[in-house]
Amino acid sequence: MTLPLTVQSSGVDASHQYQIVRQLELFRIQEDPHLIYRGQEHLIVLRYLQRRVAARPIQLRNHIRRVYLAIQSREVAHLTGALVDLMLILKGKGCYLVERMLDQSRPMLKPEHHQLMKKVCDTGQTDRLRAIPVGESVLSNGGMPSVARMQ
């Protein structure tokens, strides 16, 4: 089912129209079978995936979609948090997947963070991830995502 993302303006102001478009996009992303997001509302969908990971951390698909969207939207803090959450949930397993995500993320990550994440992948010692700032992580102890600003 595809929902149209254009809204007829029949006396609706721009901010209300934006909220409608945003809500329609969130409905659409729930039905989207693709791992790579193809819409325009990157930050809103990143926040949605962040909440999905917090609610259902075992669903690997949400983690992967979140990493890909953070790469696509060039959001370094979200990318770091998404990778940390992915590594925490895998608990040292799935090294091939994590290495692939790290390789694709390399241009955006700080070199020391990339090296540390590679070591964690190799050793399985997820406690070493504490050395990385995890502001957008939802699964690490103390990681709290900042609130998305309403427009």
Neighbouring residues of 96: CB distance < 8 A, sequence distance ≥ 6: none
Domain layout of the chain by residue ranges: 14-131
Residue (of 127, 132, 128) closest to 77 by Cα position: 132
Tens digit of pLDDT for each residue in 5-42?
Answer: 454 555 558 777 777 777 777 767 777 777 777 777 78
In angstroms, rounded to a whole number, what is the distance separating the alpha carbons of residues 53 and 63?
Answer: 7
pTM (two decimals): 0.77
In angstroms, rounded to a whole number, what is the distance separating the alpha carbons of residues 31 and 150?
Answer: 24
